[in-house]
Amino acid sequence: MLEITSEGPGLYEFTAQVTGWCADQDIADGLLTLYIAHTSASLTIQENADPDVLHDIEVFFRQLVSRDPGLYRHGAEGPDDMPAHIRSLLTSTSLSIPVTGGRPVLGTWQGIYLYEHRDQPHRRCIHLHLSGE
């Protein structure tokens, strides 16, 4: 399991932790599955060349999923909580990536990200599962 720390809404790259974990396993070829055990954060593979991409993604989601408390019944955990659940549903909780030669198949400019949707700092638990030969 990996623990990734977040400090507010946005994308946090942890590709190096994933490739490091894979390199430590005895399985060279197989399938890696990442799973985030939370309902207000998600997983995604995105371009890691230009940080503006990450900025634009967060701006888009901020507009798509309003934080206006008047729109929601569920508000006890703060105005960012219900939007976080919706953003989680619109993105991904699990992600599977083939592994060859001990490395996940990622393009040159691809990175693996935690997408945090809550305002407060969090430690997010990401489970990794590798099956193969």
Judged by beta carbon, residue 20 or residue 130, the one nearer a second copy is 130
Contact 32, 128 (CB under 8 A): yes
Q: Is position 85 an interface residue for a second copy (rule: CB under 8 A)?
A: yes
Sign of CA dihedral 111, 117, 120, 122: negative
Please give the single-letter amino acid code of residue 56: D
Judged by beta carbon, residue 78 or residue 132, the one nearer a second copy is 132
Q: Least separation, in Å, of the C-beta of 18 and a second copy?
A: 14
Please give the single-letter amino acid code of residue 8: G
Strand pairing class (110-116; 41-47): antiparallel
Q: CB neighbours (10 Å) of residue 57?
A: 18
User: How many whole angstroms separate alpha carbon 108 and alpha carbon 70?
Assistant: 44
Per rule CB under 8 A, count of chain residues that contact a second copy: 50
Q: Is position 33 an interface residue for a second copy (rule: CB under 8 A)?
A: yes
Segment near a second copy (CB under 8 A), from 2-10, 19-27, 96-104, 116-124?
A: 96-104
- Interface residues with a second copy (CB under 8 A) are 30-31, 33, 35, 37-39, 44-47, 50, 52-53, 55-57, 59-60, 64-65, 71-74, 76, 82, 85-86, 88-98, 105-107, 109-110, 115, 127, 129, 131-132
